[in-house]
Structures are given as C-alpha cells and as structure tokens.
Amino acid sequence: MKKFRGSAVVAGLSVLALTLAGCAATEELTPTSSPAAVTEEATLEPLITVGWNDIVDTFNSSSAAGNNVANSLTTYLTSSSFNYYDNSPALVKNTEFGTYEVVSEDPLTVTYTVNDGVVWSDGTAIDGADLALAWATIFGKFKDADGVYMFSHAAPKDNVASKLPTISGSTITFEYDVQYVDWELAFGIGVAAHGAVQMAYPDLSIADAKSKLIDSIMNEDTEWLAAVATVWNEGYSSVNTPENPLVYLSSGPYVLEELVEEQYSTHVLNPLYTWGPKPQYERVTIRQIEDSTAAIQAVDNGEIQIASGQPTADVLALVQALANAEYASSEEAAYEHIDLTVNNGGPFDPASYGGDAAKALKVRQAFLLSVPRNEIIEKLIKPLNPDAKVRTSVLFIPGAEGYDEAESYYSDYLGTDDENRVKAKALLAEAGVSTPIDVEFWYPEGNVRRGQEYELLKLSADSVGFNLIDESEPNWAFTETVFPDLNPHDATIFAWAATSLSVSGDDQYLVLGGPSNWTGFDNAAAKGLLDELNVAVDPAEQLRIRLAIEAELAKDAYNITLFQFPGLTWWDKEVTGVSPNLLVPYFYWNFWNWAPTAG
C-alpha cells in the first residue's frame, strides 16, 4: 500500500507534478533570467535539518503512484529542470541546465536542448533518451489493449502532442496538435532513461539502453516498452535507501545518501552538479515530524532548523512564543475541499436510487448544504488568519477575475449554516429518501485540523438526516484507484496544492479515467470545455470557458470548497535565506539560499 500522509495532493503542470488551474491566477508570467549562483569558493556548512510531515517513498514523483508533496520535495532537491517558480511567483529559466524555444507558431513546435556537460549523478550524460522518455510519459503516447496508459503519469496529456518527436543528440523537437496554452509548463525531464531501461533489461549497457529506448519509442514498439513502463510505474518506490542506485539517480544539486522509513532522508551534495544555483550546505536532512507541536519543539531545541505545518490556533501561539525563531504566515496556493463519490453504489450514486439521477442530485446537494463552512472558518481558520473567508469556487481563487461570478453559481449554499441545514432537510424530504443516510467519510488519520473539521461536520450533517461514518486512515489508499476501480469512500476531504500558474489541467480530476478523478465525475459538457481550455490563448476566452466549467460543477453538486490553505513556516534565527512560496515546493523553492546567519 502506498504510504501517503501529506496534507495535500500535488497539482500543477510542471516537471514535478501535474496541473490544477483552480489554484492559480489566470495571467501568464514572463520568464526572467537565471538566478545568480552562490560563489563556488564559499565554505560549505556540513548539515541543515528541516522538518516535514512525511518523507519520500517514491523517487518518480511524475508517476500517479508518486504524486504527493513529500515526494516532490526530494525531487526538487535532486533534479534540475528548464525552469522553476520563484516566490513572486515568476517563472525563472535555468539556462545553465538547458534551453527551449518555439521554432514554429503554426503548428506550434518547440525545441528543448540540454547543455553539454549536464549529467546524471553516475556521470551518464543527460541527452535525447531522457528527453524521449519524458515526452512519451508526459504526453501519454502509449496505451495497452484496454486503452490504459502504459506509463501511469500523474497527468498525461494525450490530446495535445500525439506526433512522434525528432531526437538529435541532446535535443528534442516536437509538434503540438493544438495551440496548447500551457506549453511552457508542460515538459521537463523526469527519471533517468538509462536507469529505467537497465532496471527492466539489466543486461543492456548504458549506450544500448539509450539507443534501444529511442528506437522503441520512435517505432512504437509497445511490446518492448512494456517492461520499461512497469519499472517506471512501480520500480521507484522504496521506504528505505534503495539497494539499486539507479532508483535515485540525480540530475540536481543533491543526491540521496540515506533513507530510513518514517524517520528521515538525507541528501548529500552531488559532486558532478555545475548547472544551476549552488547550495551552501553539504547535506540536507528532511526529518519526518507529523505533529506540528513536535516540530515546534524540535526548532526550539535546535534539532531542526526549518519547519512548516498545518497550523491551528494553538500551533500559531506556540510558534509566536519561540524565542529563537522567526516565522511567516500566509495563504498558500492550495485549498481545502470535500469531494463526493458518485459511482460506488453509495448515497451520492444514482444507481443507489434505481438510476434516479434527480434524487441522487438532491441528496448530494443536501449533504453539501450540511457542511458547516462558516463554523469551520470561525473556529479553525480565523484564529490563524483573521481575514479568512469561505472559498466558494473550485476553479477561481478569491479575488481573481471571475471569482464573484463563479460564486453566484453556488448561491443556494451561501446562507448561514443554520439556513443551509434547513434547506438540506427540505431537499432530503423532497427526495423522499429514508434517513439517516450513511455516509462513509474519509479524512487523513492523525491530521489534527482535519479531525476537527470532521467533528464539526458530523454534528451538522447528522442533524439534518445523514450518519457520518469515520473511515479515516493514514495512507490515502483511495488515491491508488483509477477508473474503472472505484473509490470505496462516499466523501473525502483533502487539499489540492499547486506547483504552477497553469491555465489548463483540471482534466486530471474532472474527466472520467483521469489519474486524480476519484469521484467518478463524468460530465460531457465539462470535458468538451476542458478540451477548449487547452487551446484558449486569449485571457477573455479562458475566463469564459472556466466559468462555463464551474457552472457545470455547480449544477452537478460536484463538491464543496472550504477555504484557502493557511500556511505557517518557522525557522531558527541562526539560518537566513528562508523565504516561503505559495506554490509547491513551498519554502524549499530556494534551498540554495539557506545559509548560517553571519557572525
């Protein structure tokens, strides 16, 4: 079973993960130049230890199995990419790693080139084979006889770039089928091609592994690729230091040194790395601390230097009381929401009512109305952020253009909690269903704030005719289900966390069969609009389409949004350069700037 205790699922169309436009502003940002590198002659500090609520257990965070924040943090320390976001957030090109350009506007054609001298941590050149593997996985080129993706990418985009690329040396050129709006965020190198191939075919040399992979992709030899796909999907999971170093090859500043299950991961400087900003610590250890109070104590004791966690009022008070630490509190590009499963034979599935979709809709609407959003905000979020408000839109962040109109689609849910409960009872009566209605509800066991949210929700929902059943567990097992497999829980609560300011990408969870569609949501109109959004370059057209998608979600009582995620990061005053980011990887984004305080 996949271990998954992170607070949020990653979303964002980048080399680290997938896209969720609903967490992002709609404007595009112009890339800036590469960051200034730290002076190579500077004396390195031996170690910095940071806390997180989980540690890596899968070294391919681009895969559906590896898609969570904890895995993405190790990926960020141990990989390089063509670009990344600073905390403005603005997209920064890393031209020391490689370059990319549009070589034709119609059809949209792009070229990516990895610079000479850029190598994996075993000394193998990063070249066309790595680019080819990335292309095949990101764009979902290969499927099996049942139409299932051979490479289980977290967010495959098989409808935007289907034509085979051209590979030459360390360069790839490929053509988009459409004028894809997020092309600059779509492509990046993931795991090492020779590593994946050699794990699948151990007798092949590095050179043969690379050439055979390229030939098989170009000739669409799915029979040979099947073994590589199995490794790509399943071969990178390990809760302790992998025995095979091919599993954790690095293209970035650090490489894994040691991983101890549910304790820590230590990353040591990659001696071959010269193509990007230079860290100032020889080692970074990520220590697993699930409890925020324990993480506060660890900073206070000097056991760790930086920590971040889901804040409660008590946690914030403890952080503010630290004499040896500074802190930053702000909203993150993540939002809390409750999803309803509509195809598992549960209370929100029309099949439970003989196919009566109208009756199931009323039950869904009644449940969403029973969620005490105002009470949750007042008791759990406002102590952290006095200006906090209910978030009412799936696709628009509060204050963004279009948010107010999107909110209007949910006008029936905007009353007080008491008013909403009255409406919920009336809807259940109209539906003619017997109450109480059992709702098997999942939240991550051990997450204090989610446990508090569940208790408030249970009191409210039970009072209108539901019976919430606690199905909390710590492993997020439902995230392993991809249609036709079904989510066993009737309702789930978690957050989407964005890694980019992409426009498109909501199809990962709004299209049936999408790798993050755990609800069974299937709306033909929404799917068509999502396809339109992929090619909408005009901001006005983007706005129109996203509002139309939001209207479909509201009409179908898809889910209910709760609040923008409050973020809290605290760090020892003996460390400088800590700068939180609203996007994943949060405060890790500029780890190369972490340094001891002068003097």
**Predicted confidence (pLDDT) per residue in 214-225, tens digit:** 999 999 999 999
Beta strands 437-442; 491-498: pairing state = parallel
**Predicted confidence (pLDDT) per residue in 120-176, tens digit:** 999 999 999 999 999 999 999 999 888 889 999 988 999 899 999 999 999 999 999
Residue span of the structural domain in which 388 resides: 332-565
Examine the pLDDT at 38 and tell me if it is beyond 50: no
The mean per-residue pLDDT over the stretch 536-541 comes to 92
Two structure tokens written together for 49: 């230890």
- Asked if residue 297 belongs to a domain, the reply is no
Two structure tokens written together for 517: 């569609």
Can you give the pLDDT at residue 10? 52
Can you give the pLDDT at residue 36? 37
Can you give the pLDDT at residue 7? 46
Examine the pLDDT at 41 and tell me if it is beyond 50: no
The mean per-residue pLDDT over the stretch 448-453 comes to 93
Can you give the pLDDT at residue 5? 38
Examine the pLDDT at 9 and tell me if it is beyond 80: no
Residue 21, SS3 per DSSP:
helix
Average pLDDT, the chain: 91
**Predicted confidence (pLDDT) per residue in 296-330, tens digit:** 999 999 999 999 987 888 899 999 999 999 999 87
Two structure tokens written together for 364: 């869904």
The CATH number of the domain where 337 resides is what? 3.10.105.10
Domain count, the chain: 1
β-bridge partners, 58: 237
- Asked if residue 437 belongs to a domain, the reply is yes
Between helix 357-369 and helix 417-431 the angle, nearest 10°, is 160
Can you give the pLDDT at residue 223? 96
The secondary structure of 330-373, three-state, reads: EEEEEEEEEEECCCCCCCCCHHHHCCCHHHHHHHHHHHHHCCCH
Q: How many CB atoms lie within 10 A of CB 154?
A: 27
Examine the pLDDT at 6 and tell me if it is beyond 60: no
Using the 8-state DSSP alphabet, how is residue 379 labeled?
I
Two structure tokens written together for 291: 């409890």
**Predicted confidence (pLDDT) per residue in 386-424, tens digit:** 889 999 999 998 888 999 999 999 999 999 999 999 999
Can you give the pLDDT at residue 44? 87
Residue 330 phi/psi, 5° resolution?
Answer: -165, 165
Contact predicate 61/75, CB 8 Å: yes
The mean per-residue pLDDT over the stretch 14-34 comes to 28
Beta strands 98-105; 108-114: pairing state = antiparallel
Using the 8-state DSSP alphabet, how is residue 278 labeled?
P
Can you give the pLDDT at residue 567? 87
Sign of CA dihedral 527, 391, 155, 146: negative
What is the rounded radius of gyration, in angstroms, for the C-alpha atoms of the chain? 24
Can you give the pLDDT at residue 350? 98
Q: Confidence band (pLDDT; 50, 70, 90) for 22?
A: very low
Can you give the pLDDT at residue 19? 28
Which residue type occupies 16?
Answer: L
Can you give the pLDDT at residue 387? 86
- Asked if residue 599 belongs to a domain, the reply is no
Contact predicate 194/224, CB 8 Å: no
**Predicted confidence (pLDDT) per residue in 339-374, tens digit:** 999 999 999 999 999 999 999 999 999 999 999 999
The mean per-residue pLDDT over the stretch 465-487 comes to 91
Lowest mean pLDDT among 80-84, 142-146, 496-500: 496-500
Examine the pLDDT at 453 and tell me if it is beyond 90: yes
- Asked if residue 247 belongs to a domain, the reply is no
- Asked if residue 361 belongs to a domain, the reply is yes
The mean per-residue pLDDT over the stretch 284-299 comes to 95
Can you give the pLDDT at residue 17? 32
Two structure tokens written together for 565: 């995620």
Instruction: Say how far apart CA 201 and CA 219 lie, in whole Å.
Output: 18
Examine the pLDDT at 2 and tell me if it is beyond 60: no
The mean per-residue pLDDT over the stretch 503-516 comes to 89
Examine the pLDDT at 508 and tell me if it is beyond 80: yes
Contact predicate 129/206, CB 8 Å: no
Instruction: Say how far apart CA 346 and CA 343 lie, in whole Å.
Output: 7
The Cα-based distances of 203 to 179, 220, 223 in angstroms read 42, 22, 18
Contact predicate 366/427, CB 8 Å: yes
- Asked if residue 480 belongs to a domain, the reply is yes
**Predicted confidence (pLDDT) per residue in 88-129, tens digit:** 999 999 999 999 999 999 999 999 999 999 999 999 999 999
- % of the chain beyond a pLDDT of 90: 78
The mean per-residue pLDDT over the stretch 527-536 comes to 94
Q: Which residue has the tokens 């492509």?
A: 187
- Asked if residue 282 belongs to a domain, the reply is no
Can you give the pLDDT at residue 599? 60
Can you give the pLDDT at residue 124? 98
Instruction: Say how far apart CA 17 and CA 153 lie, in whole Å.
Output: 9
Q: Which residue has the tokens 């499927």?
A: 143
How many CA atoms lie within 13 Å of 55's alpha carbon, on the beta-carbon side?
A: 24
Beta strands 559-572; 306-309: pairing state = antiparallel
Which segments within 354-480 are labelled E, that is strand?
Answer: 437-442, 466-470
Can you give the pLDDT at residue 267? 98
- Asked if residue 486 belongs to a domain, the reply is yes
β-bridge partners, 331: 566
The mean per-residue pLDDT over the stretch 584-588 comes to 94
Two structure tokens written together for 281: 């610590």
User: How far from the centroid of its chain's Cα atoms is residue 253's Cα?
Assistant: 22
Examine the pLDDT at 18 and tell me if it is beyond 60: no
